[in-house]
Amino acid sequence: MEFRPIESSEVRSILENACDTKGSIGFRKFIEIALYHPKIGYYRSDRPRIGKSRESDFFTASSLKSAFAPIILEASINLAKAISLNPNELAWIEIGPEPGNQLFSDIETPFRTITSIALGESFQIEGPAIVFSNEVFDAQPFSSVVYRQGCWLEKRFEVSDEGIRTIECQPRSDDILDRLPDLPHPTSEGYNIDLPTGASDLLEDIAGLDWQGVFLAFDYGKTWQSLAFDTAQGTGRAYSSHQQYSELLERIGQQDITCHICWDWLIHKLEKHGFKSIDLQSQESFILRGAPAFLKRAFEGENDQMGPLRQLVHPTMMGQKFQALSAIRTA
């Protein structure tokens, strides 16, 4: 594969310093730098990322928070009450909101405290809490493998004065070596799997802490069966100016890079750490089941939220594209 020029000398220098002695950098490490490096990371810049404007790059449910916020508030309280938790005793912790766009910034809530944690920041969770995220797990670094001539190869990036290019080699990154026994064998020649190991590690960090309450995450993902057998080109892609791109090596630090998460891996993490009542459903189903009071007001014309609500639940819009994963853990 040909080298692609790296437009910024600062970016090239940072990538070169992250390379091993053979001049290559792991897929996951590259994405971690492109997204979260303090100097060049996409999520470290002050640029607008989420919204409908020309300057932003993608659109999420949080952009419809006039409807999404009261829906999540009602559904979260209902989940907490199902295990006899008083909302007044709960800390609300939102992971990964855009600066100034916290979900509950414009509405009152009954929660004991409201806390937001930016993407890439360290965090602590204590006591009874509701931990919420929207499109955070898909924004974590991931690794990638390809099947060639009867074996799985790791995809890495070679960096030199000529630029950057994708290479394939025998697996040597720990997160890939850990997953090798799970990879299908044999499979079709050239089959690609983007392994969302960063998402799994993030949930390990969250669920591994000593807290009780409700876990609720909205995102897009697939089962392991689908990732391993139904998506031969992988799911990694980039977003910029509301356009989707398959090329991840352009505009390094200036575009979002994402892949589908593996719901099976996340469910396993929750089970490992003692979470119960684990439920994965479409965003449409979660809203229709979890926020009946809001829906009643909307359909009776007591608010002007039918437009945003339609975007959130319609199957051809966000309703089926996104899923909600919820779970509870008691003391």
pLDDT digits (tens, 9 = 90+) for 15-62: 999 999 999 999 999 999 999 999 999 999 888 788 777 778 887 898
**17: its two tokens:** 């310093």
Domains and CATH numbers, the chain: 9-329 (3.40.50.12710)
pTM: 0.95
Cis peptide before 186 (omega within 30 of 0): yes
CA gap 239, 232 in Å, rounded: 20
Write out the E strands in 175-272. 192-195, 211-219, 221-222, 237-240, 243-245, 256-258, 261-262
> How far is the C-alpha of 144 from the C-alpha of 267, rounded, in Å?
21
**What is the Cα–Cα distance from 219 to 263, expressed in whole angstroms?**
10
Beta bridge partners of 91: 113, 129
User: What is the tens place of the pLDDT at every residue in 85-114?
Assistant: 999 999 999 999 988 889 999 999 999 999
CB-count exposure of residue 187 (10 Å: 0-12, 13-18, 19+) = middle
What's the chain's average pLDDT? 95
Predicted confidence (pLDDT) per residue in 140-186, tens digit: 999 999 999 999 999 999 999 999 999 999 999 999 999 999 999 99
